């Protein structure tokens, strides 16, 4: 198993040799000195442990020095193979997008974008659609509420008058707009906005902060377990999280057309499939993106982090 993992690392090194990714360069420029210091401390600890073990004939120190040298080499390979991780994620993402988004109707986003950019573009598109619907429902609800207050009064000679509301039924329309906007559209908008903020945060710091910090901690024996976790977390955030969100986005873009379900979508107040700002189909498309699919994404993401962490532990076996 250890040889197999070394082979995987060496394959990643071969990929990274031709990788000109800006994020990899940024990671090395920002965290390179800190990683170098940690690696130097690890090497010095190995040297002193070996010298002490040889002088005092202590097998525990000799074993510690060999173990430390092994982990130092593995950490060095991980640093070099970080570019390969980025490169492989780009290749896998391109293949994934070409098959998953085939025949998908996308107006703002392009299938040629990198996976992370495509996922972020999809979140922006969902957020924009939710804002448009919330704005429309709010304006229409206020409009119908105001129209429902119109009263016509007929004055009869002799001081008698009769008043009646001719559009009070529009109060029901206003209530429907308020109900859908407050029960569905507003929670959807809040959920997607929060997801987008976290997604942007993860993209900004997964490669530039988490992965270098994990490699630094991994170079030190007493923080190696935490380093393994941060490396796994950084890889999962950069490689797998965009793929999961792009997978979710495919559901949204591929359900853009509701002509097959127009008979159940058509509504007197919210309109039919042609009323893109108000029809209930577009509300229904957003609900899984806000509540159901993120939960699945979180569960799969956690499983991936655990799996990568266990694979890192196998290297230490």
pLDDT of residue 123: 92
pLDDT band, residue 244 (cuts 50/70/90): confident
CB-CB contact of 243 with 115 (8 Å):
yes
pLDDT of residue 51: 85
Q: Is 172 a member of any domain? A: no
Q: Is 179 a member of any domain? A: no
The string of DSSP codes covering 288-307 is IIIIIHHHHHHHHHHHHHHH
Domain count for the chain, please give it: 1
Q: Is 161 a member of any domain? A: no
**Can you tell me the distance from the alpha carbon of 142 to that of 132, in angstroms, rounded to the nearest whole number?**
16
Res. 17: pLDDT tops 70: no
Longest dimension (CA), the chain: 123
CB-CB contact of 302 with 240 (8 Å):
no
Tell me the average pLDDT across 214-235.
80
What torsion do the CA atoms of 265, 271, 272, 278 make, to the nearest 10 degrees? -90
Q: Is 147 a member of any domain? A: no
pLDDT of residue 278: 79
Residue given tokens 């498309």 in the structure block: 285
Per the structure, the complete domain to which residue 295 belongs is given by 2-138+184-316
Strands (E), the chain: 151-156, 160-165
The answer for residues whose C-beta is within 8 angstroms of residue 239's C-beta and 6 or more apart is 85, 88, 89, 92
**Can you tell me the distance from the alpha carbon of 72 to that of 218, in angstroms, rounded to the nearest whole number?**
8
CA 66 to chain centre: 40
Q: Is 167 a member of any domain? A: no
Res. 6: pLDDT tops 50: no
Res. 273: pLDDT tops 50: yes
Tell me the average pLDDT across 154-181.
78
Residue given tokens 């170098």 in the structure block: 36
**Can you tell me the distance from the alpha carbon of 128 to that of 108, in angstroms, rounded to the nearest whole number?**
11
**Can you tell me the distance from the alpha carbon of 205 to that of 30, in angstroms, rounded to the nearest whole number?**
12
Tell me the average pLDDT across 20-40.
65
Least confident of 12-16, 68-72, 114-118, 310-314: 12-16
Residues 46-88 pLDDT 10s: 788 888 888 888 888 787 787 777 777 777 777 666 666 666 6
- 77 vs 225, higher pLDDT: 225
Q: For residue 162, give the H/E element and its range.
A: strand 160-165
pLDDT band, residue 11 (cuts 50/70/90): very low
CB-CB contact of 167 with 150 (8 Å):
yes
Q: What is the chain's mean pLDDT, rounded? A: 77
Least confident of 17-21, 189-193, 279-283: 17-21
Residues 114-147 pLDDT 10s: 778 888 888 999 999 999 999 999 998 888 888 8
Q: Name the residue among 46, 52, 104 with its Cα closest to residue 70.
A: 46
pLDDT of residue 154: 74
pLDDT of residue 189: 94
Q: Is 123 a member of any domain? A: yes
Q: Is 103 a member of any domain? A: yes
| 3-state secondary structure at position 153 | strand
pTM: 0.74
Kindly state the percentage of the chain with pLDDT values over 90.
12
Tell me the average pLDDT across 210-219.
76
Res. 312: pLDDT tops 80: no
Q: Which residues pair with 151 in a beta bridge?
A: 165
Q: Is 92 a member of any domain? A: yes
- 112 vs 136, higher pLDDT: 136
Tell me the average pLDDT across 170-185.
88
**Can you tell me the distance from the alpha carbon of 60 to that of 173, in angstroms, rounded to the nearest whole number?**
79
First and final C-alpha spacing in the chain: 9
pLDDT of residue 10: 43
**Can you tell me the distance from the alpha carbon of 188 to that of 251, in angstroms, rounded to the nearest whole number?**
16
Angle at 312 between CA 310 and CA 313, to 5 degrees: 65
**What phi and psi values does residue 168 have, to the nearest 5 degrees?**
-65, -20
**Can you tell me the distance from the alpha carbon of 217 to that of 262, in angstroms, rounded to the nearest whole number?**
57
**Can you tell me the distance from the alpha carbon of 221 to that of 45, in angstroms, rounded to the nearest whole number?**
10
pLDDT of residue 185: 92
Q: CA of 154: how far to CAs of 4, 151, 159, 198, 243, in Å?
A: 92, 10, 11, 60, 67
pLDDT of residue 135: 92
Tell me the average pLDDT across 266-289.
83
């Amino acid at each position: 198993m250890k040889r197999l993992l070394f082979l995987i690392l060496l394959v990643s090194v071969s990929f990274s040799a031709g990788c000109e990714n800006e994020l990899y360069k940024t990671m090395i420029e920002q965290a390179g000195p800190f990683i170098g210091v940690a690696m130097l401390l690890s090497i010095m600890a190995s040297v002193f442990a070996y010298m002490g073990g040889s002088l005092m004939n202590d097998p525990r120190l000799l074993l510690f020095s060999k173990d430390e040298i092994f982990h130092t080499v593995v950490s060095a390979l991980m640093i070099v193979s970080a570019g390969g991780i980025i490169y492989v994620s780009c290749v896998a993402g391109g293949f994934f997008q070409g098959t998953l988004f085939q025949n998908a109707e996308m107006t703002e986003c392009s299938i040629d974008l990198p996976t992370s950019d495509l996922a972020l573009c999809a979140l922006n598109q969902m957020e924009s659609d939710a804002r448009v619907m919330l704005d429309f429902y709010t304006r229409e609800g206020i409009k119908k509420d105001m129209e429902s207050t119109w009263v016509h009064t007929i004055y009869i000679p002799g001081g008698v008058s009769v008043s009646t509301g001719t559009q009070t039924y529009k109060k029901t329309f206003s209530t429907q707009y308020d109900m859908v906007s407050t029960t569905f559209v507003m929670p959807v908008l809040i959920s997607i906005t929060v997801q987008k903020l976290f997604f942007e945060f993860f993209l900004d710091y997964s490669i530039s902060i988490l992965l270098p910090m994990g490699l630094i901690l991994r170079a030190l024996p007493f923080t190696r377990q935490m380093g393994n976790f941060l490396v796994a977390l950084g890889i999962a955030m950069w490689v797998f999280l965009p793929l999961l969100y792009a997978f979710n986005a495919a559901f949204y873009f591929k359900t853009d057309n509701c002509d097959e379900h127009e008979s159940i979508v058509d509504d007197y107040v919210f309109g039919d499939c042609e009323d893109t700002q108000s029809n209930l189909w577009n509300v229904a498309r957003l609900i899984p993106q806000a509540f159901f699919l993120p939960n699945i994404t979180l569960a799969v993401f956690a499983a991936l982090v655990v799996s990568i962490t266990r694979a890192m532990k196998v290297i230490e076996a």
